[in-house]
Amino acid sequence: MKKILDLITGEVEQVFAECGYDKKYAKVTLSNRPDLCEYQCNGALAAAKEYKKAPFLIADEIAAKLSDNGMFSMAESVKPGFLNLKLEEGYLAEYLQKMQEDTERFGCEKADSPKKIMLDYGGPNVAKPLHIGHLRSAIIGESIKRIGRFMGHTMIGDVHLGDWGLQMGLIITELAARKPDLVYFDETFTGEYPKEPPFTISELEDIYPTASGKSKEDETYKEAAMQATYELQHGRKGYQALLSHILNVSVTDLKRNYENLNVSFDLWKGESDAQPFIPDMVQKMKDDGYAYISEGALVVDVKEETDTKEVPPCMILKSDGASLYNTTDLATIVWRMEEYHPDEIIYVVDKRQELYFTQVFRCARKTHLVEDDTKLTFQGFGTMNGKDGRPFKTRDGGVMRLEHLLNEINEEMYQKIAGNSSLTDEREAKETAKMVALSAVKYGDLSNQASKDYIFDIERFTSFEGNTGPYILYTIVRMKSILAKYRTLGYTVEDAKILPAKSESEKALMLEITRFSAAMESAFAETAPHKVCAYVYGLANAFNHFYHETKILAEEDKAVQAGYIRLLELTKGILETCIDVLGFGAPERM
Ligand code: ARG
């Protein structure tokens, strides 16, 4: 379906042309004076110069023609030459009716040329528990993925596990200290390694911090870990068998955690999957003359003339020949291009890695790891701060584990819900609390522009009032309950239609509804889930305003009532679609 603004612009363009003016002056926008009109066109002011005519004369002429056409209930020219427009109620109702008939997309068209887009998000590290630093990547990335899918693109989400490097050597070293008799450490062993992992997830989660702590104090311990890392990366069998146990145990746990966040990935590839692509890639960079030795290290220059800040060369190999985080990211681009050939790769990573990604992207482009038209996009996100404005911490100042944080919020929400609502069944109350808590956390995050820091204010996020997830869910639940009551009264809407608005608040709601596809489109174009949030909030407000001024269930005229119900259903459908792309859902009651 065409967007309503485009339809209006089309109409105004035609009238400009009929009156002998260039249609480029006919651009219509949403009104910035909603008290005066709904849409406006300021083109007469600009046209006045070209046609050497007083702007209000042009505006008068256009307004007179627009007044006779069925699209507007008001087309007014206002000095010095503004055109103020209001949409005709019947026209608006019909437009909404068409939106409603498109039961899943509500008139939002898919992209004309769908793209294949890979999304690098999540970025958890194996054997380290998820902490709140990983929360934003998961929440924002998941939403971008869903918005893209809704717009008709092929979105491939890859978790890009941190499963390479010293942390693996640390775990192996600590495990060797704790259980030296394990067959994995016996270099003479030639049989098959056990299928059962030699540790549980909680042991594993204890092993890593212990090892990391020890390595900071004990030089020989650190050297042992580096040695183990080296041997693992150079094919020592027992260590590789351990690695796959570490991966399995860790990934199972990560999946459970992400599931609680309603986040899922299409690919569970990791840094280790990129390693086989490194030797050829490095060779080619050398052969093509891009990579050269500088102070022992192999580097590629990536600075550009227009740089205002220094962009250091991209280091490909350290002087001891070891690869780096960079090398892995570049090699990951290689396999992604080989296997998927995406039109774009979007990275949802902490914005403090921005310079790093500038280097990686420039290097990938310069050395032709990607096509000239492959887009590489860095969607950096800001820090989640506590109320004191500093990075969010536990009460005793430690790094907060994601699981603990979510459990705490679930529990708080349960207390709130169990105390206040009609939900007497404990299981339902718990499930509902979880859904509402998730909306609080996700909406609290997504409603901010991703690149900005924000304050994780759980009191505000969990409030049922204001710009919060629970408020949106509350609005949807209210709609569900009105619909259920309507049905118990024995009514059905059958082939009832949305009727022309009879009140200001009803019309305001209807106009808000028409903005759905524009909101989705811009959220995708700007990888900006906060635009969906802003839309959802405006729509929920418009509905609640309408609801408070309108007696829906007590309406005596059954056709009018059925029209209200249709309008409510449409609003609900759109709200549900929006929260689905934000990555949460609404309960039946709360
Ligand atoms: N594992 C990294 C971390 O915890 C994030 C990975 C981001 N993605 C990437 N392609 N480098 O900081």
Instruction: Specify the ligand 1 atom closest to the Cα of 325.
Output: 11
385-399, 465-479, 480-494, 571-585: segment of lowest average pLDDT: 385-399
pLDDT at 493: 81
pLDDT at 561: 95
Tens of pLDDT, residues 204-222: 888 998 999 999 999 999 9
Task: Kindly write down the DSSP assignment for every residue of 343-400, as one continuous string.
Answer: SEEEEEEEGGGHHHHHHHHHHHHHTTSS-TT-EEEEEEE--EE-TTSSB---TTSSPP
pLDDT at 217: 96
Dist. CA 194 → ligand 1 center (Å)? 31
Q: Is the minimum distance from the CB of 349 to ligand 1 under 6 angstroms?
A: yes
260-263 long-range Cβ contacts below 8 angstroms, 24+ apart: 260/403, 260/406, 261/135, 261/138, 261/139, 261/142, 261/406, 261/438, 261/442, 261/583, 262/142, 262/438, 262/442, 262/583, 262/584, 262/585, 263/122, 263/138, 263/139, 263/141, 263/142, 263/583
Q: What percent of the chain has pLDDT over 90?
A: 85
pLDDT at 235: 86
pLDDT band at 128 (very low <50, low <70, confident <90, very high): confident
More confident residue, 404 or 74: 74
Tens of pLDDT, residues 267-289: 999 999 999 999 999 999 999 99
- Cα–Cα distance, 8 to 40 (Å, whole number): 10
pTM of the model: 0.94
Q: Quick check: 78 pLDDT over 90?
A: yes
Q: Quick check: 61 pLDDT over 90?
A: yes
pLDDT at 378: 98
- Rounded mean pLDDT of 347-353? 96
Instruction: Choose among 491, 526, 528, 519: nearest CA to 575.
Output: 519
- Rounded mean pLDDT of 227-248? 92
Q: How far apart are the first and last CA of the chain?
A: 35
Sheet holding 314-317, edge to edge: 291-294, 297-300, 314-317
- Rounded mean pLDDT of 61-77? 93
pLDDT at 250: 92
Nearest CA to ligand 1 atom 3: 123
Dist. CA 98 → ligand 1 center (Å)? 45
17-26, 34-43, 382-391: segment of lowest average pLDDT: 382-391
Dist. CA 64 → ligand 1 center (Å)? 60
Instruction: Choose among 206, 186, 205, 202: nearest CA to 194.
Output: 186
- Rounded mean pLDDT of 375-390? 93
- Rounded mean pLDDT of 393-407? 80
pLDDT at 18: 95
Q: Quick check: 345 pLDDT over 90?
A: yes
Q: Quick check: 203 pLDDT over 80?
A: yes
Strands 154-158 and 297-300: unpaired
pLDDT at 321: 84
pLDDT at 519: 98
Place of tokens 């035609």: 14
Mark residue 279 as left, alpha or beta (left: phi above 0; alpha: psi -120 to 50; beta: remaining). alpha
pLDDT band at 528 (very low <50, low <70, confident <90, very high): very high
Q: Is the minimum distance from the CB of 158 to ligand 1 under 6 angstroms?
A: no
For 431-465, give one letter per residue: b (16+ CB within 10 A) or e.
ebbbbbbbbbbbbbbbbbebeeebbbebeebbbbe
150-154, 302-306, 417-421: segment of lowest average pLDDT: 417-421
- Rounded mean pLDDT of 170-194? 95
Q: Is the minimum distance from the CB of 273 to ligand 1 under 6 angstroms?
A: no
Average pLDDT, the chain: 94
pLDDT band at 145 (very low <50, low <70, confident <90, very high): very high
Ligand 1: residue of 158, 353, 356, 376 to mutate (most ligand atoms within 8 A of CB) is: 353
- Evaluated on CA atoms 486, 491, 493, 499, the torsion sign reads negative
Tens of pLDDT, residues 305-322: 999 999 999 999 999 888
Give SS3 for 75. Answer: strand
Give SS3 for 23. Answer: helix
pLDDT at 396: 72
Q: Quick check: 127 pLDDT over 90?
A: no
Q: Is the minimum distance from the CB of 125 to ligand 1 under 6 angstroms?
A: yes
Give SS3 for 55. Answer: helix
Dist. CA 273 → ligand 1 center (Å)? 14
Tens of pLDDT, residues 79-117: 999 999 999 999 999 999 999 999 999 999 999 999 999
pLDDT band at 417 (very low <50, low <70, confident <90, very high): confident
pLDDT band at 492 (very low <50, low <70, confident <90, very high): confident
Instruction: Choose among 119, 33, 161, 123: nearest CA to 529.
Output: 119
Task: Kindly write down the DSSP assignment for every residue of 416-449, as one continuous string.
Answer: HHHHHSS---HHHHHHHHHHHHHHHHHHHHHTS-
More confident residue, 57 or 398: 57
pLDDT at 423: 80
pLDDT at 486: 95
H/E element holding 570? Answer: helix 558-582
Q: Quick check: 433 pLDDT over 90?
A: yes
Ligand 1: residue of 119, 120, 131, 332 to mutate (most ligand atoms within 8 A of CB) is: 120
Q: Quick check: 165 pLDDT over 80?
A: yes
pLDDT band at 260 (very low <50, low <70, confident <90, very high): very high
Q: Quick check: 576 pLDDT over 80?
A: yes
Tens of pLDDT, residues 552-568: 999 999 999 999 999 99
